[in-house]
Chains A and B, each alone.
Chain A
Amino acid sequence: MLRLEHVTKHFGELAAVNDLSFELEEGEVFGIAGPNGAGKTTVFNLISGFLHGSGRIYFDGRRIDGLQPHQITHLGVARTFQIPQPFNSMTVVQNLRIGEYYGVAGRSGPKKDAPWNDLAELISFVGLEGKEARPVSTLKLYDKKLTVLASALATKPRLIMLDEALGGLSAVEAEQSLELLQRLNREWGLTIIMIEHLMSALTRSCDRLLILNNGEALRIGEPRTVVEDPVVIECLVGVKHA
């Protein structure tokens, strides 16, 4: 479904992403972990068209590196941001409407039907009922994250990329979010890439796990095997002590 070939991105001297290649199967949940500054967010920015580097990126066999963010959204790739920045002058529903209106608009090829029929269904699926009319600026972080996620889902994506969806949440909220993501994958058949620091969450929900370090793929494979790899342990623990 998604394929990266020798993707590299330099910021000046720094190789934030270095010769990264991997391929994603439809329906997969793919985790990305690594120390801060490893290049995880940069990978998302490259795939979603916010940054352009070298190498090739394919979605459904079509080359997408070089496209603009909105064009990539129209192909069916949605994303969230590490720090949620919703439309603060709007209500929850108005945020979602933007995704609904513009995510599908101009999409080439046959329009993909979403698993939900109207926004009300989507809202209750993510658990925002009763907060539709709230100005987003008055929401707490968890609900902001849900609003941002639901807006991304409103674009009717087939692949969604989540940048630290659980970050900053309480244990209970993180648990709820994780369940929601699993339902997105199982019930709605969405392919997911998730950047996460919480290893237990990754091993529980991912089919495969990529460990990034200094922009390079340190390990990629079955999550439990990967997290028990001494090289990975050293990489992740080493940072905690740094």
Chain B
Amino acid sequence: MSIVADQGTTSRADAGKPGGGRLPGDRPKALSLNRQTGMTIGLVVILALLPLVVGDSNYTMRLLVVSMIWGGVSLAWDLLLGYAGVFNLGQVGFFALGAYASAMLSENAGLNPWWGLLAGAAAGAVVAVLLGIPSLRLAGIYVALLTLAFYEVLSPLLTVGEAIGTGGKRGISPITPYTIGGYTFTGSNQIPWYYVALGLFVVCLIVCYFAINSRFGASFIALHDSESFAQSLGISRYKVSLMIVGVSGLLTGLMGAFYAHYTAVVSPRVLGLEVFIYLVIMVLLGGVGKFPGPAIGAFIVIFLSDWLREFENYRMLIFGALVVVIVMVAPRGIMGAVDSAQQFVRRRRASPATPTDVGRSS
């Protein structure tokens, strides 16, 4: 008896969830073991254990920390570019705002740097949403233009903003490091920094993973695929875009805040073209709309860039050429290439009799 009653209520309460149960072709359950989940978990496990191997080399550890910072930003940006189809060009601006918010609050107002993480995240989210409110109702090109304008004015604004404590052209330096129970983080011991960075990177991975693999995620993928159809099925483009922009800004501001304290300096230089281009390459190389590809792209770009350091001025040239090559050879990045390889292997397995087929058809 009670079982029957229970079933009755579930079907009503579950109306939003898969109505009468799951069907073939339904979105895989979150955390079901597929490549995306496997790669995400694998990445985290490797990063958690890596200090056992390279922990002695402060230099390598530094590169890894920086990779994780930009990996988080790449994922957040790709949420907009690759999944929501929101062409935001001001991502580095959110990063800088997060960095400045945390740095200014800790240096000028004496706020504990840990709280700065929240402040940075909030700054990124609020400004992203404020930019989204006027632009997201309009066509995509206006989003691109407005966010580009924001990105462009931010550097001069921060330079003239000395009165409110931005430190002008030189920025803010030094910036108070984090402390835990009396222990103060220092540059000579990268381990604490590393694990905080890993924690934040995992936050980015988790938020993006669930944003993509959820009902909410389905809505912005739908908008990206076929906007009018999505709207006709009851999705509010404006509401969804605003939410996703907020989430992306939040994660980016968070990483910016950490970056400020990690490098102990923020200046308008972070808004330079070079950083922007690096970020583009990370996402392109990893695979646009191919979570967690962009994060992997970040690691490759950071290490490659370090490796190419001796080429100095030619470095950007090499990276520029790399963009062209990626776009032409593997437009869907590393993850796209993995996709193709997998399909190739599958097809090979499915039809081992290929030679006979050829014989027959000729």
Q: How far, in angstroms, from A103 to B234 measured CA to CA in the complex? A: 5
> Do A69 and B232 touch across chains, with their CB atoms under 8 A apart?
yes
A132 touches B232 (CB 8 A): no
- Selected from A80, A88, A92, A104, the residue in CB contact (under 8 A) with B234 is A104
Beta-carbon contact of B226 and A88 below 8 Å:
yes
Please tell me the number of chain A residues within 8 Å of chain B, measured between CB atoms: 46
In the complex, identify which listed stretch (A27-35, A114-122, A169-177, A200-208) lies at the interface while the others stay far away: A114-122
Q: Are B218 and A97 in contact (CB under 8 A)?
A: yes
Minimum distance in angstroms from B278 CB to a CB of chain A = 28
Given known contacts A91-B25, A101-B215, A118-B19, A81 and B221 CB-to-CB distance under 8 angstroms? no
B20 lies within 8 A of chain A by Cβ? yes
> Which residues of B are found within 8 Å of A151, using beta-carbon distances?
229, 233
Residue among B219, B232, B236 making CB contact with A48, cutoff 8 Å: B232
A40 proximal to B (CB < 8 A): no
A71: B residues at CB distance < 8 A: 236
Inter-chain CB contacts under 8 Å: number: 119
Q: Mark B215-239, 1 if CB is under 8 A from A, else 0.
A: 1001101100110111111111110
> Which residue of the partner chain, among A68, A92, A123, A148, contacts B229 with CB atoms under 8 Å?
A148
Pick the contact of A92 from B21, B25, B222, B232 — CB < 8 Å? B25
Q: In the complex the two chains form, what is the Cα distance from A214 to B11 in whole Å?
A: 49
Q: Are A119 and B219 in contact (CB under 8 A)?
A: no
Q: Mark A68-83, 1 if CB is under 8 A from B, else 0.
A: 1111011000111100
Does B134 belong to the interface (CB within 8 Å)? no
Nearest B residue to A122 via CB reads B19
Is the pair B228, A81 in contact by a Cβ cutoff of 8 Å? yes
* CB proximity to A under 8 Å, residues B185-232: 215, 218-219, 221-222, 225-226, 228-232
Known: A87-B221, A98-B218, A105-B16. A70 touches B235 (CB 8 A): yes
CB pair B234–A89 under 8 Å, yes or no, is no
Mask: chain B, 14-55; 1 = CB below 8 Å from A; 0 = not: 011011110111110000000000000000000000000000
Q: How far is the CB of B311 from chain A (nearest CB, A)?
A: 39
Most chain B beta-carbon neighbours within 10 Å: one of A99, A121, A154: A99
Complex Cα spacing A120 to B24, Å: 10
Assess the A98–B26 pair: CB atoms within 8 A.
no
Residues of A within 8 A of B228 (CB): 50, 69, 81, 85
| B236 and A133 contacting across the interface, CB-CB below 8 Å | no
A97, B219: Cβ atoms closer than 8 Å: no
Alpha-carbon gap, A93 to B28, bound state (A) = 12
Query: Known contacts A69-B231, A73-B233; is A88 also within 8 Å of B25 by CB?
Result: no
Q: In the assembled complex, which residues on chain B have CB atoms less than 8 Å from the CB atom of A85?
A: 226, 228-229
Q: Nearest A residue to B229 by beta-carbon distance?
A: A85
The answer for the CA separation of A70 and B23 in the assembled complex, in Å, is 26
Q: Within the complex, which residue of A94, A120, A155 is in contact with B218, where a contact is CB–CB below 8 Å?
A: A94
Instruction: Give the CA-CA distance A78 to B26 in the complex, in Å.
Output: 23
The CA of A92 and the CA of B23, in the complex, are separated in Å by: 10
Is the CB–CB distance between B19 and A119 below 8 Å?
yes
Known contacts A101-B215, A117-B11; decide if A50 and B231 are in contact (CB<8 Å). Answer: yes
Given contacts A102-B235, A105-B16, A152-B232, whether A89 and B25 have CB atoms under 8 Å apart is no
- Assess A87 versus B234: contact at CB under 8 Å? Given A117-B20, A133-B25: no
B221: chain A residues at CB < 8 Å are 87, 89-90
Interface membership of A39, Cβ < 8 A: no
| Cross-chain contact A97 with B24 (CB below 8 angstroms) | no
- The answer, yes or no, to whether A86 is at the interface (CB within 8 Å) is yes
Task: List the A side residues contacting B25 at CB < 8 Å.
Answer: 91-94, 132-134
Nearest CB in chain B to that of A80: its residue: B232
Q: Which of A70, A97, A98, A104 contacts B18 (CB 8 A)?
A: A97
Q: A101-B215, A119-B20 are in contact. Are A73 and B234 (CB under 8 A)?
A: yes
Chain B residues closer than 8 Å to A73, beta-carbon distance = 231-234
User: Are A81's CB and B232's CB within 8 A?
Assistant: yes
A164 at the interface (CB under 8 A from B): no
Instruction: Known A74-B234, A89-B221, A103-B234; judge A120-B229 contact (CB<8 A).
Output: no
For chain A residues 134-159, which have a beta carbon within 8 Å of chain B?
A: 134, 148, 151-152, 154-155
Give 26 pairs: A residue, B residue, CB < 8 Å, sorted on A. A68-B236, A69-B232, A70-B237, A78-B232, A81-B228, A81-B229, A85-B228, A85-B229, A87-B222, A87-B229, A88-B226, A90-B225, A91-B26, A92-B25, A94-B25, A97-B18, A97-B26, A97-B27, A98-B218, A99-B233, A101-B215, A105-B234, A118-B20, A119-B23, A132-B23, A154-B233
- Please report B residues at the A interface, Cβ cutoff 8 Å: 11, 15-16, 18-21, 23-27, 215, 218-219, 221-222, 225-226, 228-238
By a beta-carbon cutoff of 8 Å, the part of chain A in contact with chain B is 48, 50, 68-71, 73-74, 78-81, 85-94, 97-106, 117-121, 123, 132-134, 148, 151-152, 154-155
Top 6 closest A-B pairs, CB basis?
A118-B20, A133-B25, A93-B25, A91-B25, A118-B19, A102-B234
6 A-B pairs besides A98-B218, A117-B20 with CB distance below 8 A are A78-B232, A85-B226, A85-B229, A98-B230, A118-B11, A119-B19
